[in-house]
Amino acid sequence: MQQIATDLELINSILAGNTANYALLVGRHQRFVFTLALRFAKNREDAEEIAQDCFIKAYKALGTFKQTSKFSTWLYTITYTTAMTYLRKKKLNSTSIDDEEQVLQLPNTNNAFDADLVERKSNYKYLNEAIAMLLPDDAAIITLFYKAEQSLEEIGIALAMDPNTVKVKLHRARHRLKDKLQFLLKDETKELI
């Protein structure tokens, strides 16, 4: 049985000269870095560029990773700052929900019709649409807390905020998300009544 190396073991190996292991590290985190970048950029092309820049910056700065937090927290910090810098330069104002749906849809591995799967995909679609309607900071906090399962402290590190500020922003972002979901599902609600 082969044991899977932890992020820290891979980092130590990379720093020791086995640079090929960086591909393994990228493979582990690329989907989520891309998803987080997409929350900011709102389109696939810009998110891909941001994600690529993040991994290049992370590789160059790998020796500065102090290992006082999780590697993912450190990487999400780089993603956040890279996305903010990119957006300031580009002054991006476009939104594309279709691109996000393509990235986040799960493949159906079951050939039979599965009503539960269809319902979960539908709910997931509405949730992603609602998150895409949020401001980038709100979307990032929701994404980091629920999808990356980061603690308030880890999100605080990633976004350079006090954990109490993150808690307040998360609370407000949840309410905004609820409002967006109610807006998106108003027709669904009318059909049920």
Listed residue (39, 29, 32) closest to 141, CA to CA: 39
pLDDT of residue 11: 92
CA–CA separation, 79 and 49 (whole Å): 11
Average pLDDT over residues 10-34: 92
How is domain 7-192 classified at the architecture level of CATH? Answer: Orthogonal Bundle (1.10)
pLDDT of residue 137: 83
pLDDT by residue (tens digit) across 48-60? 999 999 999 999 9
pLDDT by residue (tens digit) across 103-156? 444 444 444 444 444 445 556 677 778 888 888 888 888 888 888 888 899 888
pLDDT by residue (tens digit) across 79-103? 988 988 888 887 634 444 444 444 4
Instruction: Record the pTM.
Output: 0.59
Q: State how far Cα 163 lies from the chain centre.
A: 19
In eight-state DSSP terms, residue 63 is: G
Is 186 a residue whose pLDDT tops 90? no
CA–CA separation, 180 and 186 (whole Å): 10
Is 187 a residue whose pLDDT tops 70? no
pLDDT of residue 23: 93
* Domain extent listing, the chain: 7-192
Burial of 58 (0-12, 13-18, 19+ CB in 10 A): buried
For 88-156, the DSSP string reads HHHT-----HHHHHHHHPPP----S--HHHHHHHHHHHHHHHHHHHS-HHHHHHHIIIIIS---HHHHH
